[in-house]
Structure 1
């Protein structure tokens, strides 16, 4: 049965793509697990079948400042799409929580709301700090024209709440228009790694880097993982690539610059003495 399920998965991947095939296998795994618990099956033949879609591992993908600037500068992009990007960058909210966020969930020190998405069968209460730059953004968002009675922080061009499917469709459209129609991509590090288009969700990693570089001291990986609803491993992966390595490169650059400056001063001093 395992080999038959693998063949079925591979055929489904060829017809509908690897993600769809993985979802089909996931359903069979859950169904067989249900049957196993009730004595209807002796084993779960779908359990050993591995996933084939590898794009879900996106810990190293975030939006850089250059990506953010390119998105905001896209010709004719609606202002509310820029608002969306900026609010994710400064809050790290998932799409469902982002468009549902209301003003009464925001205090002077933090944002608190019950997450729309379940994590391990439970709805987490999402609490995140007001990071530098967020207050100014919120004050700006308050000035957006809105339909009377609408309390969501984000509104579309007509002053109404933004619908999730509409946001996804428009995000894909404007991502393709960004950077002179080149799009916003994460380039594969090695030749066998494909380039991947950056998603709205990847902006959450950008928010994580803000928590790692707060004035007066960054949060620990444990604290950031709690805020983001991630594992500590995910947070550590982002810190290593975008914070620690960057700090090392900057330190090396400063050392080289200081060494060159000292060398020039020594050469100048020697010339003066010789004269």
Structure 2
């Protein structure tokens, strides 16, 4: 059933069909190809909306550890959901993540700087995998998936699978934020790390005016986004 609280309150006629299809995709009722090209619309409408510490604190207790990892990785890389679940370990370098994105027919490359928090998260995923395999019989052990993120069966996520599990936690937590809004959170992390607006815009594929709007709203006006890390850590299961 449609819940107006799941999406921005104003939905223009030209976008109604796309929004409804997004809802059905997230619930696993449509294949991912149906929504090709809709990231741009979402980005244009919500580029100055981000996840803050209270959002993470409310969301995380209702999410599985696999969804927690997905949300945290999104906030640390700025990758869109499709690229996030396809991100391969081979793309992870010592200083940056280099990944051919699904946008522009795979011709674009995301160059994401590696933060200390990103390295820590990736190590936690590896450690969790090692611990899970250690308690299994040798013949039941699985190799580490090629993708950084995986579901509870240590298999790569499907778009509908991760979308459905994300929406379950979102509904339970009553957090009025979308997965795409984590890109703005990543932008604030880059600001706190000292990157300028042009550098951040280049990483996210945004115009500098969008980055500047987030900086004014969340960083320059003394909003303490640095507490995000503490909020996420405290909310983990």
| Kept after mapping to 1: 8 A contact 2:100/2:106 | no
1:230 to 2:206 alignment: yes
Which residue is 1:66 aligned to? 54
Q: Distance in 2 between matches of 1:169 and 1:225?
A: 30
Deviation of 1:236 (Å)? 0.6
Q: Give TM-score scaled by structure 2 length.
A: 0.70
Greater CA radius of gyration, 1 or 2? 1
Q: Deviations over 1:154-211 (max 9, x none)?
A: 1100000000111112211110101xxxx112xxxxxxxxxxxx11010010010000
* Aligned counterpart in structure 1 of residue 91 of structure 2, from 96, 100, 105: 105
Report how many aligned residue pairs link the two structures: 181
Q: Which has the higher contact order (CA 8 A, sep 6+)?
A: 2
1:4-23 aligned within 5 A: 18-20=14-16
Alignment gaps of 5+ in structure 1: 1-15, 24-52, 186-197, 249-275
* Aligned counterpart in structure 2 of residue 138 of structure 1, from 119, 122, 125: 122
1:23-34 aligned within 5 A: none
Which one has a larger percent helix, Structure 1 or Structure 2? 2
Q: Distance in 1 between matches of 2:89 and 2:18?
A: 39
RMSD: 2.5
Residues 128/19 of structure 1: CA separation in 2 closer, same or farther (3 Å cut): same
Q: Distance in 1 between matches of 2:13 and 2:128?
A: 41
| Kept after mapping to 2: 8 A contact 1:62/1:204 | yes
Alignment gaps of 5+ in structure 2: 1-11, 20-40, 134-141, 225-237
1:159-238 aligned within 5 A: 159-178=154-173, 183-185=174-176, 198-214=177-193, 218-238=194-214
Secondary structure of the structure 1 residue equivalent to 2:206: coil
Q: Give TM-score scaled by structure 1 length.
A: 0.61
* Aligned counterpart in structure 2 of residue 94 of structure 1, from 61, 77, 80: 80
| Kept after mapping to 2: 8 A contact 1:144/1:159 | no
